[in-house]
Amino acid sequence: MPVHREHIEELLELCWTAAEDGLVPLDQDRLPTQLLCFLPHPIEPDGAIQQETLEAMIQQGLLLATNRRIQLSPAGARQAQEVVRRHRLTEVLLHNVLAVSEASMEATACQVEHILNAEVTEAVCAFLGHPPSCPHGRAIPSARCCALAQASVAPLIIPLASLPIGEDATIGFIHTARHAYLQRLHAMGVVPGHTIRLCQTSPALVIQVGETQLALDERAGQEIFVRRRHGPRQDA
């Protein structure tokens, strides 16, 4: 029975995420339980198919297996990084731009990650401003387009704390692992796409969103990234 490429890519993604959470090497016999404890979608419904996928990945050199313990090989990690990048960029697009529900975002990202090619992935990344993390706070692996952007257009996308006081900007993305604080920011209207103005940085960080002024903690100034309306002025 042939192994579907989608099954391999799903397992590559899951192993990458497990490595992020320090759960490697994985126990091959307990793989479904280990992986599904922190991911919302199943690998494959059929255990027999799952075993065939594992064996195919080991034969292809994507997984290293020793005494029923498995982890990504260097080649597997490279492929997993590409899958994860496509998935998380899609999540940002669906969440920040299209504002779809959490369930639709996840289900769609799981499908789109298998069909995006390199050119479209770079275009999506550039359109989103090369975001460093997905809506769940997990890092988005960077690529060549991100390095080029840092050198060429990075001055247009800056941490909130670096915005000149009194200047309006558009919230591009929020990069934080503080999930409760992120929800609090969203409740206050501090969400991607909204206009924000930095009112002061000392003694407290104060912003204005719409007609409301809000005081934020110091860390927020480095976690909220904004897109400037104009490039930085050049002194004569």
Predicted pLDDT of residue 91: 94
Predicted pLDDT of residue 59: 92
- DSSP-assigned letter for residue 140: P
For the cut 50, the answer to whether the pLDDT of residue 43 exceeds it is no
pLDDT tens-place string over residues 145-175: 888 876 655 456 788 999 999 999 999 888 7
Predicted pLDDT of residue 90: 96
For the cut 70, the answer to whether the pLDDT of residue 89 exceeds it is yes
Q: Which residues pair with 224 in a beta bridge?
A: 174
Query: CATH fold of 156-228, please?
Result: SH3 type barrels. (2.30.30)
Question: Helix, strand or coil for residue 146?
Answer: helix
Residue entry with tokens 């993390």: 133
Predicted pLDDT of residue 173: 82
Residue 195 CA to residue 17 CA, distance in Å, equals 33
Predicted pLDDT of residue 152: 59
For the cut 70, the answer to whether the pLDDT of residue 39 exceeds it is no
Q: How confident is the model at residue 105 (pLDDT cuts 50, 70, 90)?
A: very high
CATH says 86-152 is which class?
A: mainly alpha
Query: What mean pLDDT, rounded, does the chain reach?
Result: 84
